[in-house]
Amino acid sequence: MNTATLSDSTLRLWLSHLATVRELSCKSVRSYLSGLQFHWKDLAGDLKIFKDNARIDMIMKGAARARGAAQASEGQEPLTTGLLRAAVKAVHPTATRLYYNDKMMLAAIAMGIYGVLRSGEFVITKKA
């Protein structure tokens, strides 16, 4: 008979350690938790500490909020008409004759814009 034990407080402390001290992403912490759950099933057989644990969910939400929310929004701007005009002007400010590299850059910008606009068709999963 196996006498392995795992307390709720030990599990929460370990998850907090992974998220804060080791600075792992929330996705990585969830992977670690999944691995522990799989190993624990073979070791002890009792998975009730992992099921419907509101405190684990709170730790994961707090770690995601502390790590991801501030970092994801920095330096990202929406693609606007002004940005597109600035990109075209950077390639071809006032010259009357376009060189080969200029033409290639304008073609890349045009295709990139088209790709970004079309990506909404397969990226958005539900209608607003």
Q: Which tens digits make up the pLDDT trace of 41-91? A: 888 777 888 887 888 888 888 888 877 654 444 556 666 778 777 877 777
Q: Output the pLDDT for position 100.
A: 77
Is pLDDT of 30 > 80?
A: yes
DSSP state string for the chain: -------HHHHHHHHHHHHHTS---HHHHHHHHHHHHHHHHHHT---TTTTT-HHHHHHHHHHHHHHHHHHHTTT-----HHHHHHHHHHHSSS-SS--HHHHHHHHHHHHHHHHHHHHHHHH--S--
Quickly state the pLDDT bin for 21 (edges 50, 70, 90). confident
Is pLDDT of 39 > 60?
A: yes
Domain boundaries, given as residue ranges, for the chain = 8-72, 81-123
